[in-house]
Structure 1
Amino acid sequence: MTDIRISVAAILIGSAALPAMAEEVNVYSNRQPELIDPIFETFTEETGIEVNSVYIDTGIEERLRAEGARSPADLAFTVDIGRLDALKQAGVLQPVESDVLDEAIPAAYRDPDRDWFALTTRARAVYASRERVADGEITTYEALADPEWEGRICTRSGLHPYNIALTAGMIEQHGPEFTEDWLRGLKANLARRPQGNDRAQVKAISEGECDISLGNTYYMALMQSDPEQQAWADAVRLVFPTFEEGGTHVNISGVAMTEAAPNRENALRLMEYLATAHGQELYAEINNEYPVNESVSQSETVKSWGSFDADDANLQDLADLRAEAVRLMEIVDFDG
């Protein structure tokens, strides 16, 4: 018998959004399917609510804005405070009131206007060569601009959202003038022009091209689980620098409900499921990230990397500083 359910993928092919079935929820996500589909499958098994997930690498906010009230999407999943804020600024979200979300997610990881909610955090750490960098040799982000690191640092593009968020954190700590000088010092210490992704920098360390790099924590687990990249992971250890007067910079993955949300009740059930203990354990472990729900323990893999104290900067404040961070990156021609 022909399956009469209409998938989100099929809807996207057409020019108009069709009414959604009662027991489903439609997701737009720029998280890789292998990182979230297993969680959605478990949610479906436990609730009977089908999750239709469409992977959209970039431009979720543009798609939602173009679709308007006819959008089939109920929820948007993304990473980085900047991307969550872009959804908010595009006016494609609706605020969500939920005692469950309030109890499970600390206020620091919720939008003040309730437009987005963090599900996990990740630290912007330093990957340090086991052979060429001693324990305690790098302790702060500010020290990355010190002359002793000349020719020893690798990083991806300064304009990538992960590095823009870190730069926004530096502006929050010290202001734009200090941050511009810091970026000039960091650029002077690069072993090569910014290129590749976070794992490419660790590969360069393993090959002796540089000694330290910036990278998100979860990449360590990805390399450790890949036979072709295991040697890269073995060549480094994770270091958790802090700001001189703060903690370790963290960013988030999160979820937001779209303004259209044709399946609002089911969408809210999925949001709440991912914020409470069972959903948090699944989401954080599969993604090798840190749960935001403080009652949930970290996975054994994540625990093995060591502990840190997260910086307490307001994430919305960092989002508001992104434009200034981009401006400073361009002033110093960081990628040039």
Structure 2
Amino acid sequence: MKLVISAVLTALAAAAALPAMAQDKVLNVYSARHYQTDEQMYDAFSKATGIKINRVDADDAGLIARLRAEGAASPADVILMVDAARMAVADAQGLFQPIKSAKLDEAIPSHLRAAATPEGVTWTGFSTRARVIVYDPLRVKAADVANYEQLSDPKLKGLFCTRSGSHPYNLSLFSTVVERLGDEKGEAWLKGMVANMARDPKGGDTDQIKAVASGECGVALTNTYYLARMMKSTKPEDRAVVEKVRVVFPNQGTTGTHVNIAGAAVAKHAKHRDAAIQFMEYLASPSAQEYFANGNNEFAAAKGVKIDNPALKAMGGDKFKAETVPLAVVAKNLTKVQQMLDRAGFK
């Protein structure tokens, strides 16, 4: 009789554990990435691991606000963001937790990750995009925009266009350049760009490319994936824009072209920490890296992964020299550079 009772209790305990086990096969992802091909990447992870992904979408600022409001009650396990500056801000607010992973250490270069501590690394870049210069070949010579520093040269007066200086894409670039040039020369560079503007900063990167093609501007900054999208577009108007502009990967003879990241971190109060780390390691795998490169025209961050994206190759993206200033440096320069931008009148 005791054996029967024991068996029944064991069966009941096992049955009671089933919901908990099923619950552990869940990963809650807060994402600022809104790309259709990411769905295929998530599906591949779920099929391989049996872990279901629940996703909450917002922009980077919205994710940060939500995490702060939720506090320790947050269900978030993994946070996906699309800019190193914003990841650094979230990290500084204590929204991430450090993790240790030999796989990530081996796959992702250290300059594309947060600074390592004895506890581990808080955030990791999984894809990159280059901040390049597009120009009108009828008005500007490639040699005149070979380096970021030349954007402040008076010969480009009335020709330069960009989106807001405070936008994270620009803020990350400016913070990195200031790190190289030093504060005095860096601020002078920002003032020189303001003096060269064809109009006040406005719009997004695609708008800058179109402005160069239309003749409103002669030179502009853009992330590579915006240009790649237009190159792959079947719309005649996009093709017409692409035919009128040229692209330069700046600083190839010196420090290399600035690259920014889309990255991920394990949330401070993650309830499924092991699954979160497993997902992070998956993002560094060759198959996931191919989704980044081919799906959203980004560059792979993992070592040894080659891109096979016709648009990126056509613009020279398969062989450019990338800058290796640690993106963690961006964090300590953000406030200082924003103050420089204000003094320079860079809107």
TM-score, structure 1 length as denominator? 0.89
1:128 matched to 2:135? The reply is yes
Please name the residue that 2:16 is paired with: none
CA distance in structure 1 between the partners assigned to 2:322 and 2:124 by the alignment? 18
Q: Is the 8 A contact 1:20 1:262 kept in 2?
A: no
Please name the residue that 2:41 is paired with: 39
Q: Secondary structure at the match of 1:321?
A: helix
CA distance in structure 1 between the partners assigned to 2:258 and 2:48 by the alignment? 35
1:86 matched to 2:64? The reply is no
Please name the residue that 1:303 is paired with: 313
Q: Is the 8 A contact 1:164 1:325 kept in 2?
A: yes
CA distance in structure 1 between the partners assigned to 2:106 and 2:126 by the alignment? 13
Q: CA deviation at 1:211?
A: 1.3
1:324 matched to 2:336? The reply is yes
Q: Which amino acid aligns with 2:248?
A: V
Please name the residue that 2:7 is paired with: none
Q: CA deviation at 1:303?
A: 2.1
Give the one of 139, 164, 169 matched to 1:162. Answer: 169
Q: Secondary structure at the match of 1:136?
A: helix
Q: CA deviation at 1:132?
A: 3.1
Q: Which amino acid aligns with 1:231?
A: A
Q: Is the 8 A contact 1:240 1:308 kept in 2?
A: yes
More helix by share: 2
CA distance in structure 2 between the partners assigned to 1:139 and 1:20 by the alignment? 55
Please name the residue that 2:115 is paired with: 112
Q: CA deviation at 1:244?
A: 7.7
CA distance in structure 1 between the partners assigned to 2:343 and 2:183 by the alignment? 11
Q: CA deviation at 1:35?
A: 5.0
Please name the residue that 1:5 is paired with: none
| CA displacement, residues 104-158 of structure 1 (integer Å, 9 cap, x when unaligned) | 1112222123000110111110012243333433211111111110111110011
Q: Compare 227-236 and 200-209 and name the one that shifted more.
A: 227-236
1:251 matched to 2:260? The reply is yes
Q: Which amino acid aligns with 2:45?
A: F
Q: Which amino acid aligns with 1:234?
A: E
Q: Which amino acid aligns with 2:284?
A: A
CA distance in structure 1 between the partners assigned to 2:285 and 2:232 by the alignment? 27
Give the one of 54, 70, 74 matched to 1:52. Answer: 54
Please name the residue that 1:184 is paired with: 191
1:261 matched to 2:270? The reply is yes
Please name the residue that 2:292 is paired with: 283
Q: Compare 260-269 and 248-257 and name the one that shifted more.
A: 260-269
Q: Secondary structure at the match of 2:143?
A: coil
Q: Which amino acid aligns with 2:273?
A: R
Please name the residue that 1:218 is paired with: 225
Q: Is the 8 A contact 1:20 1:263 kept in 2?
A: no
Q: Is the 8 A contact 2:292 2:299 kept in 1?
A: no
Q: Is the 8 A contact 2:96 2:122 kept in 1?
A: yes
1:315 matched to 2:330? The reply is no
Q: Is the 8 A contact 1:150 1:191 kept in 2?
A: yes
TM-score, structure 2 length as denominator? 0.87
Q: CA deviation at 1:326?
A: 0.4
Please name the residue that 1:234 is paired with: 243
Q: Summarize the alignment of residues 7-46 of structure 1 with structure 2, pairs less than 5 Å apart.
A: 21-46=23-48
Please name the residue that 1:11 is paired with: none
Q: Secondary structure at the match of 1:123?
A: strand
Q: Is the 8 A contact 1:82 1:165 kept in 2?
A: yes
CA distance in structure 1 between the partners assigned to 2:36 and 2:137 by the alignment? 31
Q: Which amino acid aligns with 1:164?
A: L
How many residues are matched?
Answer: 318
Q: Secondary structure at the match of 2:289?
A: helix
Please name the residue that 2:156 is paired with: 149
Q: Secondary structure at the match of 1:132?
A: coil
Q: Secondary structure at the match of 1:156?
A: coil
CA distance in structure 2 between the partners assigned to 1:50 and 1:92 by the alignment? 23
CA distance in structure 1 between the partners assigned to 2:78 and 2:213 by the alignment? 40
Q: Percent identity?
A: 40
Please name the residue that 2:101 is paired with: 98
Q: CA deviation at 1:33?
A: 4.1
Structure 2 gaps, min length 5? 1-20
Q: CA deviation at 1:243?
A: 8.2
| CA displacement, residues 152-202 of structure 1 (integer Å, 9 cap, x when unaligned) | 111001111111111111211111111221111111111111000000011
Q: Compare 137-146 and 277-286 and name the one that shifted more.
A: 277-286
Q: Which amino acid aligns with 1:327?
A: Q
Q: Secondary structure at the match of 1:73?
A: coil
For the structure 1 residues 244 and 329, does the alpha-carbon distance in structure 2 shift closer, same or farther, using more than 3 Å as the test?
Answer: farther
Q: Compare 313-322 and 234-243 and name the one that shifted more.
A: 234-243
Q: Secondary structure at the match of 1:246?
A: coil
Q: Is the 8 A contact 1:288 1:299 kept in 2?
A: no
Q: CA deviation at 1:91?
A: 0.6
Q: Which amino acid aligns with 1:29?
A: S
CA distance in structure 1 between the partners assigned to 2:144 and 2:176 by the alignment? 22
Q: Is the 8 A contact 1:173 1:245 kept in 2?
A: no
Larger radius of gyration: 2
